[in-house]
Structure 1
Amino acid sequence: MVGRTRSRGPRRRAREPGVERRRPARVRGRPRRQAQLSHLERPPAFTLRRAEPTDAEQLAEVHVASWREAYTDLVAPEAAATFDVAERRELWTRALRTDPTPGMTTHVAEVDKSIVGFATTGPPRSERVRDIELRGLYTLARTHGTGLGGALLDKALGDRPAQLWVLTDNARAIAFYRKHGFAEDGTAGWFERWNVAEIRMVR
């Protein structure tokens, strides 16, 4: 007598090592009718991974686009004019291919295989008050409010103590970092290239 074979159903696709897929958390407290949005209205799922040398071009484009969205109203026009894709392409090519800085790591966030943000960590560039510095965290404006920025920060730092610099007038960024455990430590600086004041935050 032949026994019955149990159906196992479709196999799940193996997850690539080092790649993390997340869908933004659902916002609680909204009426059910508002919560049941169409798939076009819901924040898209995003993927987090380490940056690769082939990402230099996309990183340059996202870096400039997100920088202009965040800083156009905070820095002088002549300073903003010096921040272009060609310069960022050269920087990212060096960082990821030809002359990487020891200890520096970049993670990227992707939506539909296109980079929409990144976070870079490395040794502190000025006075060391923590062992690691968040050197930059940029996301395109269309991803704001989806949880992507916080996910990138967690991927880059975990719960480790860190330091960072942020423009004094960048209230949105300061509020974001406070939400994630950072606080101003009373140290101020001046970013000469953009001719703007900045403050240090630590956790």
Structure 2
Amino acid sequence: MSEKREIMNVVVKPLESDDEKKGKAYVHWKSWHEAYEKLVSAAYLDKLTLEKCEEWAFQWPENTYVALDDGKVVGFVCCFGHGDDEPDVGEVNAIYVLSEYYGTGVAQQLMDTALEKLKDYSRKELWVLKDNPRSIAFYKKYGFHEDGTEKYLKSFEDTEIRMIKE
């Protein structure tokens, strides 16, 4: 059994440098393979390569905040407003933390950052896999609740549910 890390100096900041983008990509890739192995199709995970995650990190760096532990990216969150389509809605689009940082407060720091960035939106929302009780419980701690909206994602071979906070 691994020891929990003592987190003293984790800093959450906007994603900026190429090294941070590469670190974000690694967290994205690694966390999906750690957390979703039994939740989504193996075919999807096989296609989710580190190279693909790096491509995304460099293509869409905006609205992304990374958690750095001694300069190493250990988690990230992406959040943004829906724009003219739904000007009062902000979304937490992704939040991922390396499994060795579970229970250390890193995810909380990232969620706190996202909610601060989205504070001017009257409604916040996110999508989570229906069969992911750990994440659902985490979001409920922040006041999110299921609103009954679901979508089946063929690529994942699983269903996502929308959770909102008003």
TM-score class, shorter-chain normalisation, is: 0.7 to 0.9
Counterpart contact for 1:130–1:163, Cα < 8 Å? no
**Counterpart Cα distance in 1 of 2:72 and 2:113:** 18
Counterpart in the other structure of 2:45? 80
Counterpart in the other structure of 2:150? 188
1:18-97 equivalent positions in 2, closer than 5 A = 43-45=6-8, 46-54=10-18, 55-96=20-61
Alignment-mate amino acid for residue 6 of structure 2: P
1:54-203 equivalent positions in 2, closer than 5 A = 54=18, 55-96=20-61, 104-124=62-82, 128=86, 130-158=88-116, 160=119, 161-203=123-165
**Counterpart Cα distance in 1 of 2:101 and 2:159:** 27
- TM-superposed CA distance for 1:150, in Å, is 1.0
**Counterpart Cα distance in 2 of 1:53 and 1:94:** 13
Identity %: 33
**Counterpart Cα distance in 2 of 1:166 and 1:128:** 20
Counterpart in the other structure of 1:22? none
Counterpart contact for 1:118–1:137, Cα < 8 Å? yes
1:73 aligns to what SS in structure 2? coil
Higher normalized strand content (fraction of residues): 2
**Counterpart Cα distance in 1 of 2:71 and 2:17:** 16
Counterpart in the other structure of 1:23? none
Gaps of 5+ in 1: 1-39, 97-103
- TM-superposed CA distance for 1:147, in Å, is 1.2
Q: What is the CA RMSD across the aligned residues, in angstroms?
A: 2.0
What is the TM-score when the length of structure 1 is the normalising length? 0.71
Greater Cα radius of gyration, structure 1 or 2: 1
**Counterpart Cα distance in 2 of 1:182 and 1:75:** 23
Higher normalized helix content (fraction of residues): 2
2:147 aligns to what SS in structure 1? strand
2:47 aligns to what SS in structure 1? coil
1:181 aligns to what SS in structure 2? coil
Alignment-mate amino acid for residue 137 of structure 2: A
**Counterpart Cα distance in 2 of 1:69 and 1:128:** 34
